[in-house]
Copies of this chain bind each other. A is one copy, B any other.
Amino acid sequence: MPRQVTAFSNATVKLLRSLRDKKARRAERLFLAEGLRILTEARDSGRLPEIVAFSAEGARHPLAAEIIDATEAAGGDAIEATPDILAKMSGKDNPQMLLGAFRQPDTSLAQIERSKAPLWIVAQALRDPGNIGTILRTGDAVGAGGLILVDDCADPFSVEAVRASMGALFTQEIAAARWAEFVAWLRSGEGQLVGTSLKATEDYLDADYRRPCFVLIGNEQQGLPADYEAECDSLVKIPMAGRADSLNAAIAAAVMAFAIRASWR
């Protein structure tokens, strides 16, 4: 049976609230996902929260009730909370009726099976958690296997990234590594590394993309470092028709990923 929680000082409430903070996420190895849609996506991908919190109203939805039951059946914790406690936990005035704390998956490169998908997205030093979530969502849509975060990126388990991913956080593999570690792993098996660069001469529509293809997207401000570009097997450019010299990082990832998929039709 779910516990009813009415105090902000309750330990579970405090734990869930703390997960808005990166340090706490790291220490607890948990992250927060909000809303029926994302929690349903998680459940359908075989993932249940360790803790689920909901309002009385939220629990009335049959899908929410299923998730709450399944969480308890799996040994998880279910708490019914008042709307203001939910608002505190989600940091929003209009809180979702349902939120869950999920165990963070292993993000080592070792658990990535590159042959599982023809396409993988690799992002370097991405600072915006919204971009990371959007890239995960795009990756799911385009049939990528997952996202490999190279160097210091924003936290893919932040509330903003989880929200922007619209549940793709549960369907895409996620790994994090330093550049040298990534290159060593990449070169230990098959895979074409494709970077985008303003200095490239080959149009992204003319390149020959080979499976598994790893598309490398650079930092929002600086793009890719020169030695990272040099490591690429293929360096392509997306021609810019206007005055701007770059695309938003998540847009560049999408344009590349969809063009690569189109080239394989």
Which residues on A are within 8 Å of B, measured CB to CB? Answer: 41, 44-45, 130, 134, 137-143, 164, 166-168, 171-172, 205, 238, 240-244, 246-248, 250-251, 254-255, 258-259, 261-262, 265
Residue in B142, B205, B251 whose CB lies within 8 Å of A241:
B142
| B residues near A254, Cβ cutoff 8 Å | 247, 251, 254-255
| B residues near A143, Cβ cutoff 8 Å | 241-242
Chain copies in complex:
2
| The 5 nearest A-B residue pairs measured at CB | A143-B241, A140-B242, A251-B254, A140-B244, A255-B258
**Nearest neighbor of A241 in chain B, beta-carbon distance:** B143
| B residues near A244, Cβ cutoff 8 Å | 137, 140-141, 166-168, 171
**Nearest neighbor of A251 in chain B, beta-carbon distance:** B254
Distance between A86 CB and nearest chain B CB, rounded to angstroms: 21
**Nearest neighbor of A206 in chain B, beta-carbon distance:** B265
Task: Give bound CA distance, A171 to B242, whole Å.
Answer: 8
Task: Give bound CA distance, A247 to B165, whole Å.
Answer: 10
Task: Give bound CA distance, A143 to B137, whole Å.
Answer: 26
| B residues near A168, Cβ cutoff 8 Å | 242-244
Other 10 A-B pairs with CB < 8 A, given A41-B243, A141-B242: A45-B243, A137-B244, A141-B240, A141-B246, A142-B242, A164-B248, A168-B242, A168-B243, A241-B261, A255-B258
